[in-house]
Amino acid sequence: MRRIISGLFVASMALSSAVGCSYGAIEAHEGKLYIARNDGFLFGALRKLYECTPSAGSMACVQVKGKP
């Protein structure tokens, strides 16, 4: 029973790291935030860059096309 639970735990950790995403960088410039989304799927083939404008109580984000 312990081996099955350990195996399921290791498998779930491996699966979440393989298909999950992580935010590699957040940078502020001239009152805007730039968020680089780097994923672990296909060696980062689905990278995206977002430009966010913070306002009172919310944040509007737009994907920057043609970058990075």
pLDDT along the chain (68 residues), means of 10: 78 59 74 80 72 86 77
Residue 13 belongs to some domain of the structure: no
Residue 58 belongs to some domain of the structure: yes
Residue 8 belongs to some domain of the structure: no
Residue 65 belongs to some domain of the structure: yes
pTM exceeding the 0.75 threshold for the entire prediction: no
pLDDT given for residue 22 in this prediction: 58
pLDDT given for residue 68 in this prediction: 56
Residue 1 belongs to some domain of the structure: no
Residue 5 belongs to some domain of the structure: no
Residue 6 belongs to some domain of the structure: no
pLDDT given for residue 61 in this prediction: 87
pLDDT given for residue 67 in this prediction: 57
Total count of domains within the chain: 1
DSSP 1-68: -HHHHHHHHHHHHHHHHHH-EEEEEEEEETTEEEEEEEESGGGGTT-EEEEEEEETTEEEEEEPTT--
Residue 30 belongs to some domain of the structure: yes
pLDDT given for residue 17 in this prediction: 54
Domain that holds residue 26: 21-68
